[in-house]
């Protein structure tokens, strides 16, 4: 099982060197990937961590391609209706070229209606938009000339190059915990990237994805991954507190408890876990990362 770190580029006073230090230390410590997340414009009255000091994820990911030279670069997740899928495909193909083929595209449909309205993005039709956007992105990554007459996009015999380094384009891991998101995994993605779910909470969804995968006659196996907050007793230092739209599961407690919870992911068949420590201090984040590498990962 591979492990990544979600870079804390939101929710705290902007300290660029500390953000980049987390990415560098992640690679030095042997983490397999570094990740960014996505929000653009959030209501002032909404007390969530994504409201304050959010660096734009694709711009940051491009910079991280030069900051880390081995780790993979992922989005957890890009909210597809917020941007043209043509631009997203172009930017990620560029980053894949710059990083020599290290990009993972995690995508989501989004949930914050006020943000959709501010961006003039289709909220009620966001599911249909995501389906069309993924088809466009994959098409641009795999064909020299592209055409579509869709619900949201219309063009004929257009070209955009270069393609990504990775044959067929970066893997697409579809986020979201709904049944429709899992259907999108089986039809249009390469894997399911759940958020804030423990293994016991993911288990029914993994079973559902496997069933849908077979029904769609997909070859191979879907990738299962999860982004989850990690807080260890006596190690982590929580410094920010934000309200959540709904309760979010996290891995917390002793070293032994954390080992058991990560082991449950392994038993479920997860291939990648992305750790989030965005509510912790810089020193607390580093201590949690080091403790994970030295005391938890060797037991998995």
pLDDT averages per 10-residue partition of the chain, 300 residues: 97 95 98 98 94 97 98 98 98 98 98 98 98 98 98 97 97 96 98 97 98 97 98 93 72 98 98 96 97 98
Supply the pLDDT for residue 248.
84
CATH of region 2-299: 3.20.20.30
Q: Please, where are the H alpha helices in 124-194?
A: 126-142, 179-188
- pLDDT recorded at residue 51: 93
pLDDT value at residue 240: 79
Collapse the DSSP code of 263 into the 3-class scheme (helix H, G, I; strand E, B; otherwise coil) and give the result. Answer: helix
pLDDT of the residue at 194: 97
Residue 250 CB neighbour total at 10 angstroms: 15
């Amino acid at each position: 099982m591979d492990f990544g770190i979600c870079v804390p580029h939101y929710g705290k006073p902007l300290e660029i060197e500390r953000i980049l230090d987390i990415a560098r230390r992640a690679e030095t410590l042997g983490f397999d990937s570094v990740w960014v997340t996505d929000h653009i414009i959030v209501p002032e009255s909404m007390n969530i961590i994504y409201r304050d000091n959010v660096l734009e994820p694709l711009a940051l990911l491009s910079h991280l391609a030069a900051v880390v030279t081995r780790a993979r670069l992922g989005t957890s997740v890009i909210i597809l209706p917020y941007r043209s899928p043509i631009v997203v495909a172009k930017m990620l193909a560029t980053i894949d070229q710059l990083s020599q083929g290290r990009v993972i595209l995690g995508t989501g449909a989004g949930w914050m209606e006020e943000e959709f309205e501010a961006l003039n993005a289709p909220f009620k039709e966001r599911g249909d938009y995501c389906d069309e956007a993924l088809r466009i992105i994959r098409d641009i990554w795999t064909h020299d000339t592209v055409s579509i007459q869709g619900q949201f996009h219309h063009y004929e015999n257009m070209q955009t190059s270069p393609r990504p380094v990775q044959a067929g384009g970066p893997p697409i891991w579809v986020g979201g915990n709904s049944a429709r998101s899992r259907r999108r995994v089986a039809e249009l993605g390469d894997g399911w990237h759940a958020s804030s779910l423990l293994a016991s909470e993911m288990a029914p969804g993994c079973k559902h994805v496997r069933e849908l995968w077979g029904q769609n006659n997909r070859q191979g196996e879907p990738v299962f991954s999860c982004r989850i907050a990690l807080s260890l007793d006596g190690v982590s230092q929580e410094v920010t507190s934000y309200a959540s739209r709904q309760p979010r599961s996290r891995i917390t407690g002793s070293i032994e408890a954390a080992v058991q919870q990560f082991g449950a992911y392994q038993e479920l068949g997860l291939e990648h876990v992305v750790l989030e420590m965005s509510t912790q201090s810089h020193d607390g984040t580093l201590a949690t990362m080091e403790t994970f590498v030295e005391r938890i990962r060797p037991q998995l």
